[in-house]
Structure 1
Amino acid sequence: MDMNKLIPLLSEMAIFVNVVESGSFSKSALKLGVAPSSVSRSITRLENALQQKLLERTTRQMRLSPAGQEVYSLCCDMLNSAQLAVSSAQVNTEDITGVLRVAAPKALSKQVLMPMLLDFMALYPKVELQLKVSDRYLDLVSHEVDVIIHITETPTQGLISRVLAPCRLLLCATPDYLMKQGIPTHPQQLIDHNCICLGESPKDRIWIFSQEDKKLSIQVKGTLTVNHSEIRREAVLRSMGIAVFPDFSIQEWLDTEQVQQVLPDWTLGGHYQGNIVAQYAYSKFIPKQIKTLVDYLQTCFQS
């Protein structure tokens, strides 16, 4: 296909990505601010030009065809490159300027990143920071994000990864609770304790422990279930029970001995641990504000 025919299809490709990410023509139209019929015509024009059926549609659902899956992946790359092209002009500017869109988990954002990011803005007042706080993984292209900060043992492939700090899960309780209820010396003893759980799924009541070649799954129970680390921490500080925390969420209280680690010789399993990682797209021209932010965060975590 020659360039004259390709150029008009670029907007259709962008709309195609939006439809797939939105999950329906109507939702995509709402996001784009156009009529659903306009979105439908764009997809039809793209399918006709490529001579491929990209979306398999029924009255109840929509899914990518085999050809559509490959085209979708390549169109995502195209949109990401377009975004980098827009911001690449800022690479060689003397001042750090421009929009910087960052996604990060809720607890990490409030308890750790917030003061760092606000200090960064004070240092670089020409940067417009847009922070998206969500415990869901937000994709760079579909969620219009420049930098993803997340806690993981397996960073997303195909992106530049910068490790900011390690993060591990700790089991904690107050000395007062442990004095009254006893200090567990083995994970199995947790079944006799009041365990404060996350509660987002039934699996959250199954705590996984490992020690060398041993691995245990313990079904715990308790009188409080809450999917907010600060509320769990407050309950623990009131000596209500034992709870699991990412280390950054409880370290201050460990340092002042208001709480103590339980079963320190065992390693806790779970999703919210590994490394705190900043990730962004590969490009010949990395916007200067992205590199400056990640360098700044790395320095903050190491200090």
Structure 2
Amino acid sequence: MEMLREMAIFAQVVDSGSFFAAARHLALTTSAVSRHVSRLEAHMGGRLLQRTTRSLALTELGRQVHDGCARMLSTAREIHALAGSYSARPNGVIRVTAPVVLGQVWLAPRLPRFMALYPDVDLRLTLVDRLVDLVGEGYDLGIRIAHQLAPGLAARPLGQMRYILVAAPGYLAARGEPEQPPALAGHDCIHFGYPTFGNHWEMRRGAVQHSVAVRTRLTIDNSAAILGAVEAGAGIGLVTDFSARAALDAGSVRQILPQWQLCAPYAGAVHAVYTPGPHLALKVRVLIDYLVDEKF
């Protein structure tokens, strides 16, 4: 049984990239971590790591042992999930990650009712605009917007989202409202600042399509911040539809060219994603079912 612990500690050292980082993750001393790895090397009859003052490198034996350790830990997680899936009541902590604005505007307001339905479940929500490694970073569930999901994940669709163009009534009164996509070239436009999003907006209506090179003095990488600039009169902004719903309902912004659809990459499906396996923990399953019923 002690060898199982040594295998788990060895896997953590490799995944963390250093004995110090592994020790901090495991709440052990660096010397204790080193002793466990040395014992495993003694059991295996060979060196598993080439160690320098700055880096670690797996030996050939080390690579084979690490693969086995990774399979062992995966099996252990499945057994842990099995226990949760057969619990009479959903209980425990669920770690969830989501994009920042989606989490702020759509997800977070829906969580209090879920927690009232399941008082034995605690939630830890992390909002971050990057692709999160669910297994490597210890998350149970991720909410993602994408055209295609990464392989190796299970997913449940929550709905569709798209980008729309909005402007403040005061800006439109001063500058006029564009009636066709080419007219956007004469307006101040706020660009969505992700590398995959250029300053050419592709728009389609039926069989007609326009590619408009917009003038962009202001670039922001957050829909909520773009919406704030639009409401202040900065120009026509490209935002996610869910982030603009409240402002549209309040009349602080108006949708521009609503009959036209922005083409890819300005659209996507929203999914709840999780690590596949034969036994999904009950606490995670009820949260996914709840979010599906909420209708994005």
Q: Same fold (TM over 0.5)?
A: yes
The 5 A counterparts of 1:182-221 are: 182=176, 183=178, 185-186=180-181, 190-199=184-193, 206-209=199-202, 211=204, 216=211, 218=213, 220-221=215-216
User: What is the CA–CA distance in structure 1 between the aligned matches of 2:192 and 2:4, rounded to whole Å?
Assistant: 45
Mean CA deviation greater in 252-261 or 282-291: 252-261
Residue in structure 2 matching 1:261, options 235, 256, 263: 256
Calculate the TM-score normalised by the size of structure 1: 0.78
Q: How far did residue 21 of structure 1 move?
A: 4.0
User: What is the CA–CA distance in structure 2 between the aligned matches of 1:53 and 1:207, rounded to whole Å?
Assistant: 55
Q: How far did residue 292 of structure 1 move?
A: 0.9
Equivalent residue for 2:85? 91
Tell me, yes or no, if the aligned pair for 1:191 and 1:221 is still in contact at 8 Å. Answer: no
- Per-residue Cα deviation, 1:193-241 (whole angstroms, up to 9, x for no partner): 322234466x65534525469684846422x443333222121122211
Tell me, yes or no, if the aligned pair for 2:159 and 2:295 is still in contact at 8 Å. Answer: yes
Paired residue type of 1:128: D
Change (3 A) 1:57 1:174: farther
Tell me the SS of whatever aligns to 1:197.
strand
The 5 A counterparts of 1:24-103 are: 24-43=18-37, 46=40, 60-62=54-56, 75-103=69-97
Q: How far did residue 120 of structure 1 move?
A: 0.1
Tell me the SS of whatever aligns to 2:86.
coil
- Does residue 239 of structure 2 align to residue 245 of structure 1? yes
Identity of aligned residues (%): 34
Equivalent residue for 1:172? 166
Q: How far did residue 300 of structure 1 move?
A: 0.6
Q: CA RMSD in A?
A: 3.5
Specify every segment of 5 or more residues in structure 1 that has no aligned partner in the other structure, as ranges.
1-6
Tell me the SS of whatever aligns to 2:151.
coil
Mean CA deviation greater in 261-270 or 165-174: 261-270
Equivalent residue for 2:122? 128
Tell me, yes or no, if the aligned pair for 1:207 and 1:220 is still in contact at 8 Å. Answer: no
Change (3 A) 1:186 1:79: same
Mean CA deviation greater in 40-49 or 136-145: 40-49
- Per-residue Cα deviation, 1:36-80 (whole angstroms, up to 9, x for no partner): 344345455556656787666655555667886776566445434
Tell me, yes or no, if the aligned pair for 2:135 and 2:275 is still in contact at 8 Å. Answer: no
Paired residue type of 1:300: E
Tell me the SS of whatever aligns to 1:90.
helix
Q: How far did residue 12 of structure 1 move?
A: 3.7
Tell me, yes or no, if the aligned pair for 2:161 and 2:241 is still in contact at 8 Å. Answer: yes
User: What is the CA–CA distance in structure 2 between the aligned matches of 1:36 and 1:154, rounded to whole Å?
Assistant: 41
Change (3 A) 1:37 1:131: same
Q: How many residue pairs align between the two structures?
A: 292
Change (3 A) 1:90 1:229: same
User: What is the CA–CA distance in structure 2 between the aligned matches of 1:110 and 1:247, rounded to whole Å?
Assistant: 14
Q: How far did residue 117 of structure 1 move?
A: 1.3
Tell me, yes or no, if the aligned pair for 1:19 and 1:28 is still in contact at 8 Å. Answer: yes
Q: How far did residue 299 of structure 1 move?
A: 0.4
- Does residue 111 of structure 2 align to residue 117 of structure 1? yes
User: What is the CA–CA distance in structure 2 between the aligned matches of 1:77 and 1:261, rounded to whole Å?
Assistant: 53
